[in-house]
Amino acid sequence: MRATRADVARRADVSPALVSYVLNGGPRSVSDAARARIEKAIAELDYRPDSIAQAFRGSTTKTVGLLTASPSNPFFAELAQAVENSVYRRGNTLLIGITDDDRAREQDYVRTFVDRRVDGILLLTSHLARNLALIEPYQIPVVVLDRVRAEYRSPVSSVHMDNVAGAVRAVEHLQWHGHRRIGCITGNAGDPVSLERVDGWRRQQNAAGFDADPDLVAYAGFTAPSGREAAHRLLAAVDGADRPTAIFVASDVQALGVLRACKDIGLSVPDDVAIVSLDGTHLSSMLVPSLTAVAQPIESIADAAIEDLLARAENPEIAPAAHTFEGRIVIGESCGCQAGS
């Protein structure tokens, strides 16, 4: 059974008030002898203050809630880890709800976070409008991560990479290798991240005067099997002249499936088809060939999200803000460069 403050007082032969003074640093002084007995009793009973009860008397619980899709996508897994590290460094605790983008589960987790009186909530999920509507009456600070729709960037904060600029950088690198007919494999058609990454592909192809035909775009889920299926569709042309010589892939996890599809068809990467992806997770360097990717600054994204969230939890007068980061290209072998060059 968990020890209480009264148990500590009895063990130390002092009043509960003196135990409170030691734990809270005042407001009244405690003799050295009494303090020594209290500290000894705390250690012997393994007493830990009830942080939730303290929160009801104070202003914060020092907990943050994160709703995220499946960690089978390495980007989500690495971002969740970076968020946890950032929360821990600041002396807080992270509660994680893995939703698999299931609407009912997302709502259940939101209600749980509200009941636990979290100081703020991070959303890395698809059903933003419904989740924000559930949170709004409780005036809990919210930061939307990655999957940011323009209409939700206010009055909640958002942190994400510039997807358009990232896609432009990836396609530009493929063009530098001499590719003109560049395909694009992206997420589901209604996903804002997918649309932004297609927009970047299209802008750069148009800027270079190259083909940006809609037939060169394949939409699929952000999974390896979906990437594989999309690549089969995109590379199915029998006539080699119509087949893309390079592909911009909107995520590392999809690129894993694209590599498998190329092997299925008998195409060599990068000799027959060059590939550049977006995310730059640890997975990208472990594949064969290793992926060239535009890497998201995951640690910076996590830190910015937590700093924003905790600042607004401390001071509700701080206005929500949109934080946007640039990606950087990391060279692997899938584009035709030598890895690390």
The residues facing 66 across adjacent strands are 96, 122
- pLDDT at res. 239: 56
Low-confidence ranges of the chain (pLDDT < 50): 52, 54-58
Q: Which of helix, strand or coil describes residue 116? A: coil
Q: Which residue, among 121, 23, 124, 24, has the nearest Cα to 63 in the 3D structure?
A: 121
> H helices within the chain, ranges in order?
5-12, 16-24, 32-45, 51-57, 74-89, 103-115, 128-135, 163-176, 192-207, 224-234, 252-265, 282-286, 298-314
Give the other-Cβ count within 10 Å of 213's Cβ.
11
Give CA torsion, residues 128, 133, 135, 139, to 10 deg: 120
The pLDDT assigned to 56 comes to 46
Instruction: Give the rounded distance of the alpha carbon of 62 from its chain centre.
Output: 20
Domains and CATH numbers, the chain: 5-49 (1.10.260.40), 63-162+300-326 (3.40.50.2300), 163-296 (3.40.50.2300)
Which pLDDT score is estimated for 169?
97
pLDDT of residue 28: 72
- pLDDT in the model for residue 185: 97
| Residues 296, 311: Cα–Cα separation, whole Å | 24
Q: What angle do CA 129, 112, 193 make, to 5 degrees?
A: 35
**Cβ-count burial 30-52 (b if 16+ within 10 Å, e if not):** beeebbebbeebbeebebeeeee
Question: What pLDDT does 57 receive?
Answer: 44
Q: What is the pLDDT of residues 147-157, one digit of tens each?
A: 766 555 557 89
pLDDT of amino acid 25: 65
C-alpha to C-alpha distance for 192 and 105, rounded to whole angstroms: 22
Task: Give pLDDT tens digits for 116-125.
Answer: 889 999 998 8
